[in-house]
Amino acid sequence: MQIDKLKHTTGNQFFLMAGPCAIEGRDMALQIAERIVTITNKLGIPYIFKGSYRKANRTKLNSFTGIGDEKALAILKEVGDTFDVPTVTDIHESEEAAMAAPFVDVLQIPAFLCRQTELLEAAAKTGRAVNVKKGQFLSGESMGFAVEKVKTTNPAATVFLTDRGNSFGYGDLVVDYRNLPAMQSFGVPVVMDCTHSLQQPNQSSGVTGGKPALITTIAKAAIAVGADGLFIETHPNPSEAKSDGANMLPLDQLESLLERLVRVRESIL
């Protein structure tokens, strides 16, 4: 699997999970992937392309959910094959694990679903790597049970844990960086989601807000604390994105951000 190659090349460098929130179309996915691959190759950052084939957790009934499962999954596979990089996508119900696994290298468990035992087991049974996002309502220490569920089902499974902030009242999130070393204590790579952790959910408009100006702050702090990887959603025109545009990083800002983060990483080694 391509994820095995990633593990052997990480070394002392952080790795990156990045891409659009949702697969909006073939051309855009390939455009974003090509740009990020160019940047990460230049900087020596191991890279996993991220894109959701379907968005199941939406505030409003008429919110964009996807272009069709089979079409989006085929695009994810094409991205992986074209650029020789691992790919990751979310799954939401147990039966989706076997459907999505042939197309991607990593199955991601959304934060709201991180306690769903059957979903974790189904992901583990596919043999794909599993990235579990920490629930906004959980501590880092409690995520050991998610790791246990995956590893008990498949002892050979590769597991990542990703922090995406904790609920702070009804419409905001806050990042508790104590959660990163707490989750690393389970012997798995830990990722900081630098964009979803800046969401402002539960807005009266029915569209989630965000604070993208703080992405650099969240990312630099995570690297300084010792995060193994970063998760960043990016788009050429976030204001036109069909999902989560309010907290995405403009694609043309990614290279300068990663250059700074590489220097932060070097300074703490």
Tell me phi and psi for residue 85, to 5 degrees.
-125, 150
Do the domain assignments include residue 95? yes
Domain that holds residue 49: 28-165+173-268
Within a domain: 2: no
pLDDT at 102: 98
CA triple 27-123-73, angle to 5 deg: 15
**Does residue 193 form part of some domain?**
yes
18 within a domain of the structure (yes/no): no
- Number of folded domains in the chain? 1
Within a domain: residue 19?
A: no
Q: Does a structural domain hold residue 250?
A: yes
pLDDT at 243: 80
Residue partners of 150: CB distance under 8 A and separation at least 6: 120, 121, 123, 124, 130, 132, 157, 159
The list of the chain residues with pLDDT below 70 reads: 1-11, 57-62, 202-209
pLDDT for the residue 3: 64
Residue 53: the pLDDT is 95
Q: Domain of 231: which CATH number?
A: 3.20.20.70
- The angle formed by the CA atoms of residues 263, 12 and 153, to the nearest 5 degrees, is 130
* 182: in domain: yes
The model's pTM is 0.92
Asked if the structure places residue 86 within a domain, the reply is yes
pLDDT for the residue numbered 8: 47
